Structure 1
Amino acid sequence: MRVLAMAAALAALGFGLGGAGAARADDGYDLWLRPRAPAGTPAQVARRGDTATLRLAEAELRRALPAGATLPVVVATAADPAVVAARLPLTGLGDEGYLVRAATIGGRRVMLVAGHTDRGALYGAFALIRHVATGGVADAALLRSAPRLALRMLDHWDNLDGTVERGYAGQSLWDWWTLPDFRDPRYTDYARANASIGINGTVLNNVNAKADSLTAPYLAKAAALADVFRPWGIRVYLSARFSAPIELGGLKTADPRDPAVAGWWRAKADEIYRSIPDFGGFLVKANSEGQPGPRDYGANHADGANMLAAALRPHGGRVIWRAFVYAETDPEDRAKQAYSEFRPLDGRFAANVLVQVKNGAIDFQPREPFHPLFGAMPRTPMVAEFQITKEYLGFATHLAYLGPLFAETLRAQTGRGRQDVADTLTGMAGVANIGRDRDWSGSTFNQANWYAFGRLAWDPDLPADRIAREWAAQTFGTDAQVIATTSAMMAGSREAVVDYTGALGLAHLMATGHHYGPGPWVRDLARPEWNPVYYHRADAAGIGFDRTAAGSDAVAQYAAPVARALARPDTTPERELLWFHHVAWDRRMADGRTLWEDLVAHYDRGVGYVATMRTQWDTLRTKIDADRWTKTATYLAVQQREAQWWRDASLAYWMSVNHRPLPAGVVPPAHDLHWYRAQSFPHAPGNPK
């Protein structure tokens, strides 16, 4: 289903809307939910029914809608007798869909906000607020939508000591030390923001889990958060450590086939549901990067997942089992290992198990081809995992709008009929970029990635550029120049990061551990697949990883039409060329340049795009509040400096390998390769060590 009036509202954004002059001071805390209604002039809003969620919907509409609308607003559920009598088109909306339209309810003409459940009504309230905030007229609203994906979830890689793995916005939002007694108001504001974009689940703790998360004191803390989140339609999940029966239960094994192990998990599930009746379930990282799992005992992933699923099934809980696996003992191409382990298990997972697959087969790189598991397990519910936090895209300081990255994966054709990746999914999970920073995500523009994730999880067909404009209007106001400029900056920002970190299918070129900055020269790490040289395989003759039948044959994991296209350099998209092929430096590209010339041009284009964003942002100095303008301007300067660093260090290294001069007129790196290799950043944020 689609929000019928959104196209018209966004057309209004483009423009003729007023709003000149600098905005009020704004520290970014309000996200895209800035107060709208003038004080003392609330809109006419009524509620039919009395649940905590309906009361929230009513309060949100009163807070945000301007006074003066002709029609009063009524929030209700489809079961209300007056709504039933109106005979409205509410079929097909499911438990979470909504209808917002003018209707006669109880004998008077109103703007009705309704859903089959109070959660649907809450989502409808936020849809009407978004409609008005992006230039729509409340009285003219005609909005009908239902989520395409059932599970829309944030994964927090938050640790019990308050640190956040790959987090760049300060300490964890969860203050485990003061929970369950003190329930920080930020927990409510967090839930409210998620509800406004349709997110309905949150995993509280790191996938590299500690067993302590499942002890009684920490379950009480999780229960306190669940109480806060519940009225907003959000269920709590926990990452479970597979070896918890040993560490907490005193058992000598965690073998999923052992009856004592299964019994321990059943008792633990019973304990959890006594304190969190609507607990969502477990997220599990097993047999990956040192985490324990069923393969430690000769069992497979289905054995492990199904044992946990049996413990949760009586309570309606689910197991979300991550497919991010690779082992140092497996010499196979790392890009192939998840498919090799999971594809044979299709149909063997319990009904309440969902397999969570990263968008690409390596690890959240600035660009990866879509994961070959999408569409390859038709009998297994699947969740796509994206990284909202920018581990490989410049941390918090680089402006990189990820809407195009998410959409690129979701709309990729699997080669199985007309099926795109989104067609294969039951849910989407996003590794959160949220911390205790006042602006939640480390910078204003990082908020757009949280927003875009939620909007695309609800409707994977939404255009990324439309989401950008929608976010900008709600975040900065409806000034035409501001929306046009900010959305233009965002449009190519992710591609710019690809250009200055590794275009044409290059990936995993970052420095060791913290993943901050370039390190294409790294070759001395303990495991081959941790080294950038493993991925680019550059030598004097050429560059790229051969994944054809002559190499690792990873292309064979895709459906036949896709595999055929990827098997030849001439039919592989150039943006993914070096991911699948080792090609000569002097290969002719589509633009007539050699590969070397084209690669150099990409680096320069990426740096140039950042310089252009700085110029564009400068034009908004008088139209953006000083705090957000200054912080963004500062970060753009940092990004330009670091983009230049990436460009120069990378070119210095490639020239040391291919022994080729730079194309005529290209500015050489500022330093020699030794200088770049000597740079050290031992305390970069987000590093798990």
Structure 2
Amino acid sequence: MRRILLAILSVFWIFAVPNQACAETGYDLWLRYQPLDSGAKERVGQVVGGYFTAQTHRPTMEAAARELRTGLSAMLGYQIVQRHTVQADGGIVLGTGESPHIAPLGLPLASLGREGYLLRSVVIEGKQVTIIAGNTDVGVLYGVFAFLKRIQLGQPIDKLDIIDKPKLQLRVLNHWDNLDRHVERGYSGWSIWDWQKLPGYKDPRYTDYARANASIGINGVVLTNVNANAEVLKPEWLQKVKALAEVFRPYGIKVYLTARFSAPIEIGGMKTADPLDPGVAAWWKAKIDEIYGVIPDFGGFLVKANSEGQPGPNDYHRSHADGANMFADALKAHGGVVMWRAFVYAAENPEDRHKQAYTDFKPLDGKFRDNVLVQVKNGAIDFQPREPFHPLFGAMPRTPLMMEFQITKEYLGFATHLAYLGPMWEEVLEADTFRPAKGSTVAKVIETPVAPGAVTGMAGVANVGNDLNWSGSQFDQANWYAFGRFAWDPDASAHAIARDWAGLTWGNDPALVDPIVAMMMGSREAVVDYMTPLGLTHLMATGHHYGPGPWVADLARPEWNPVYYHKADANGIGFDRTKTGSDALSQYAPEVARLWGDPKKVPENLLLWFHHVPWDRKMQSGRTLWDELVVRYDAGVEAVAAMQARWDGLKDKVDARRWSEVRDFLAIQHEEAKWWRDASIAYFQSISKRPLPVGHAAPPHDLEHYKAINNRYAPGNG
């Protein structure tokens, strides 16, 4: 009887569900909910039935029910009906531990915490039922997304017994969006926040953005650029922020703002922003009380201070702890937090830029309030294609450290270069700090509270804009997705995440998923090879960071010049960070310093980061360093060509619009990889004076040709 009913329903419902296979744009991200094939539809239908049970008198539970109804109806081809009691056909039950349908089951919900979820197949009154439960409504919402993901990926749902919860409390996207809608280091159009229309008009896209974030467990959004504008703290702007908070709240997402340290002067009419001045502290307390009066669940502030010209406590001879604690004290009563960035370096400081954050923050360990997280970039320089892990991880055992990754690819070819960042992040998270002992990986450092109840977190610089596909390219969506997965579980696998994303985004056929995952998993290493092989770093043209500029040496601040980082001369190349150089290695644990400090033992992919070595040094391949450098540049170009060939082979398996876009972007990447290769070899050969190894072509132009290329209007510049 149930099959007859479902068949009848499908006749009517099939015309109400849009054909999502037509002319896909990428807007649906990994939430495509494509119709299942007949076999999968029958298997899922037997478990799901035509009903689900939920009590939806609260906004988050309504969001969960709506997502379940939308996803199942689209995939099965008939409408899933919501009931308030368990039906004879069983079906799905959503709820928290207090739900009358779930409370009698004695499920192990206590271990889930506030955001965890449980998926379990049970029998209620003789009926087969699938339970999606959590201690809170947001846990149920996360469970719904996990359940729908299993169906999309063809995984079984008939004998479920799954418990999952996040390992980090704060999982936050940092938008570098300005109030004029320009996005600093953004390559996917304008900011999605249409401030001029807020608060009167809440674009439906905001809800889809919240859905996407909730589906991967992101629970916080910093709306504004770290290079902050104090205007956003004014009453009229807080009403706009309130409107976004209202959209995000049902999806478990809090809003945060960046606080400009000098706001008391700029919008408060004060003569100082000294954090130890009682008047300044009172001004910030009043402002924070005002914000919470408008947005009761406001998350707190992200602060960039005394870095790249931004104002901060050092302007008044105060420490970063003094500045952070002033904000923390005012936020404490409201449950808010301060995310204080450790990305600090100053023009007047001659110290190796690699060392400056450690020098400033290590002495402050234990001096921050308990609602302060020090937000530390994955590496000590600036989101480069490859960096060793930041020496602060493991070095501040009494201070919560929050990982900061960059999802937008400021230094990895912008939106047009395919570069899946999962392997980069996994490489950093798996790195052993040896603090306090062997096995203390970066992941464990950020997962482990420094004290009972202390906050933990991860932040990612968002790559979202108002482009139709959200991220500027189809494959850059994978980095948004991967960030959410790593923020939920820093011990996750980049390969497993790539497989899930590929299956959800492109289709679940192994003949499609396998080559896509192969492309993704090799893509970041390809970028490293054609941009910064063997531990070279920061060779991008300055300002916009688009294209090669290893010759740049005329900028005011030394650390803005690529020559500062590669130090190539007639004798060799690389930055000596051993005791004979800047001694940056002394900031790591002795075990790490000994390994990386020995040019014979350091991994070759970090060799030139830590050592200045001769051009004729013998490498593991048996080639000289110079020859190896050229080989790596060519390997990067060849890897992009291989990706093109793989993608060409998938033409009949991918919708035409998205396939064509990726094809065109890979062609751009291939040309720009050759540009990187040719310009870099031309420059370094002018210094090394070595011939190219046999079989490797000379650059088609002389060095002056490449130096003359000007891209001053490249997107994303400040």
CA shift at 1:71, angstroms? 5.2
Q: Distance in 2 between matches of 1:607 and 1:302?
A: 46
- 1:58 is matched with 65
1:93-148 per-residue CA deviation (whole Å, 9 max, x = no partner) reads 11001110112346643100001111111001101111111111232333211101
Q: Distance in 2 between matches of 1:236 and 1:566?
A: 41
CA gap of 1:500–1:71, structure 2 versus 1, over 3 A, is farther
CA shift at 1:484, angstroms? 0.9
- 1:428 is matched with 458
Moved more, 101-110 or 609-618: 101-110
Q: Distance in 1 between matches of 2:508 and 2:160?
A: 18
Taking the TM superposition and a 5 Å limit, the aligned residue runs for 1:168-207 are 168-207=187-226
1:199-250 per-residue CA deviation (whole Å, 9 max, x = no partner) reads 0000000000011011111111011000000000000000010000001110
Q: Distance in 1 between matches of 2:615 and 2:233?
A: 54
Q: Distance in 2 between matches of 1:548 and 1:23?
A: 57
* Cα RMSD (Å): 1.6
Taking the TM superposition and a 5 Å limit, the aligned residue runs for 1:263-412 are 263-412=282-431
Taking the TM superposition and a 5 Å limit, the aligned residue runs for 1:479-494 are 479-494=509-524
Identity %: 62
Q: Distance in 2 between matches of 1:490 and 1:36?
A: 23
The answer (yes or no) to whether the contact 1:662–1:668 under 8 Å persists in 2 is yes
- SS of 1:665's partner is coil
The answer (yes or no) to whether the contact 2:262–2:311 under 8 Å persists in 1 is yes
Q: Does 1:34 align with 2:53?
A: no
Q: Distance in 1 between matches of 2:92 and 2:634?
A: 53
Q: Distance in 1 between matches of 2:601 and 2:480?
A: 35
The answer (yes or no) to whether the contact 1:37–1:63 under 8 Å persists in 2 is no
The answer (yes or no) to whether the contact 1:155–1:430 under 8 Å persists in 2 is yes
Q: Distance in 1 between matches of 2:414 and 2:157?
A: 38
The answer (yes or no) to whether the contact 1:357–1:383 under 8 Å persists in 2 is yes
The answer (yes or no) to whether the contact 2:96–2:137 under 8 Å persists in 1 is yes
- 1:238 is matched with 257
TM-score, normalised to structure 2's length?
0.91
Gaps in structure 1 of 5+ consecutive residues: 1-21
Indicate the structure whose relative CO is greater, using CA pairs within 8 Å and at least 6 residues apart: 1
- 1:165 is matched with 184
The answer (yes or no) to whether the contact 1:284–1:322 under 8 Å persists in 2 is yes
CA shift at 1:43, angstroms? 4.4
- The residue identity in structure 1 corresponding to 2:520 is M
- SS of 1:140's partner is coil
- SS of 1:384's partner is strand
1:503-545 per-residue CA deviation (whole Å, 9 max, x = no partner) reads 1110000001000000000000000010000000001111000
TM-score, normalised to structure 1's length?
0.95
The answer (yes or no) to whether the contact 1:82–1:106 under 8 Å persists in 2 is no
Q: Distance in 1 between matches of 2:692 and 2:90?
A: 66
The answer (yes or no) to whether the contact 1:586–1:594 under 8 Å persists in 2 is yes
Q: Distance in 1 between matches of 2:470 and 2:138?
A: 25
Q: Does 1:654 align with 2:684?
A: yes
- The residue identity in structure 1 corresponding to 2:231 is D
Q: Distance in 2 between matches of 1:620 and 1:37?
A: 21
- 1:583 is matched with 613
The answer (yes or no) to whether the contact 2:372–2:400 under 8 Å persists in 1 is yes
Q: Distance in 2 between matches of 1:212 and 1:305?
A: 20
1:416-473 per-residue CA deviation (whole Å, 9 max, x = no partner) reads 2211101111211000000000000011000000000001111112211111110011
CA gap of 1:678–1:53, structure 2 versus 1, over 3 A, is same
The answer (yes or no) to whether the contact 2:345–2:357 under 8 Å persists in 1 is yes
- 2:581 is matched with 551
Moved more, 49-58 or 527-536: 49-58
CA gap of 1:593–1:71, structure 2 versus 1, over 3 A, is farther
- SS of 1:79's partner is coil
Q: Does 1:448 align with 2:466?
A: no
- 1:465 is matched with 495
- 2:652 is matched with 622
The answer (yes or no) to whether the contact 2:90–2:127 under 8 Å persists in 1 is no
- The residue identity in structure 2 corresponding to 1:300 is S
Q: Distance in 2 between matches of 1:206 and 1:298?
A: 25
CA shift at 1:49, angstroms? 5.3
- 2:85 is matched with none
The answer (yes or no) to whether the contact 1:536–1:543 under 8 Å persists in 2 is yes
CA shift at 1:35, angstroms? 2.7
- SS of 2:255's partner is strand
Q: Distance in 2 between matches of 1:195 and 1:301?
A: 33
CA gap of 1:185–1:177, structure 2 versus 1, over 3 A, is same
- 1:678 is matched with 708
Taking the TM superposition and a 5 Å limit, the aligned residue runs for 1:71-220 are 72-105=91-124, 108-220=127-239
- SS of 2:111's partner is coil
Q: Which runs of 4+ in 1 moved over 4 A?
A: 37-43, 66-71
